[in-house]
Amino acid sequence: MAEKTTLRKEFTKGLLVENPVLRLVLGTCPTLAISTSMTNSIGMGISAMIVLVCSNIAISMLRRVIPSKVRIPAYIVVIASFVTIVQMLVKAFVPALDSALGVYLPLIVVNCIILGRAEAFAGKNSVAASAVDGIGMGIGFTAALLCMATIREFFGNGTLFSGADSLLNLFGITSFTGIEIFSRLPESLHIEPILILILAPGGFFTFGLLMAVSNKIAEGKGKPKAELRGCDSCPMSGSCSLIARDEAGDCAEKQPAQATANTTGGDA
């Protein structure tokens, strides 16, 4: 019974409390780049989720075998292989999505959400918990992407789910190609979409506003603001505590001695 509740907690935390995009501020690059279209967002979200779940499971299974010295390269190899497998499958079965996502599909490798979860969760927890964590985080990522894409596509292009046939093709449905909204309005109500929202500046702007809303909600629940804490959120931060030192003060010359002292202390 107790285990069931924990699993449920692992699942739900990714949706809201620890939403990877809006709370942990991870994976900002694909969020900004892909959220011009709802269809592409769903495609990106599902691809990333598959990689996240598979790599979480694999890393959790290997957690006792991988020496901690080489864990980061090992995680990167595992993640990169799953990304490549997903990329090949997308190319073979949903080619339109492959050309729409372009370079951002292989770039899932360096999506901090995946390496971040590997380091923070899968490397320390059981296979089941890691899988559930991956599903929750994946859904949270997709939901945040879709939320941004809905705003950007509706106001910026006047459509919803445009180009949906590229995804639905997989299930043999080709008739639904999205909903045109602004161009269907009667002449007297004619409005032009706010084009800039689907251009690059609109991405930053929409993300900023969403972040403000999410912070407001968090504040109401007594939770701290989402903050990009330099590199705490970065999985490499363990191996590069040096940068934090530089941010804290300009004593790059003074500190190495201390750092070395710390390492030796740790070894002894």
What residues numbered 76-115 form the site for another protein, per CB under 8 A? 76-78, 80-81, 83-85, 87-89, 91-93, 95, 99, 102-103, 106-107, 109-112, 115
Under the binding rule (CB under 8 A), the answer on residue 245 touching another protein is yes
CB of 9 to another protein, least distance (A): 26
Pick the piece of the chain touching another protein (CB under 8 A) from 12-20, 44-52, 135-143, 211-219: 211-219
Applying CB under 8 A, among 21, 24, 32, 57 the residue interacting with another protein is: 32
Applying CB under 8 A, among 170, 230, 248, 263 the residue interacting with another protein is: 230
Under the binding rule (CB under 8 A), the answer on residue 261 touching another protein is no
- Comparing CA positions, the residue from 1, 4, 2 lying closest to residue 128 is 4
Extract the tokens encoding 24.
């942990």
- Would you call 141 exposed, middle or buried from its count of C-beta atoms within 10 A (0-12, 13-18, 19+)? buried
CB of 22 to another protein, least distance (A): 10
The count of chain residues that interact with another protein, using the rule CB under 8 A, is: 82
Under the binding rule (CB under 8 A), the answer on residue 235 touching another protein is yes
CB of 5 to another protein, least distance (A): 32
Binding track, positions 154-173, relative to another protein; x by CB under 8 A? --xx----------------
Under the binding rule (CB under 8 A), the answer on residue 147 touching another protein is no
Question: Which of residues 20 and 235 has its CB atom nearest to another protein in the complex?
Answer: 235
d(CA 181, CA 161): 11
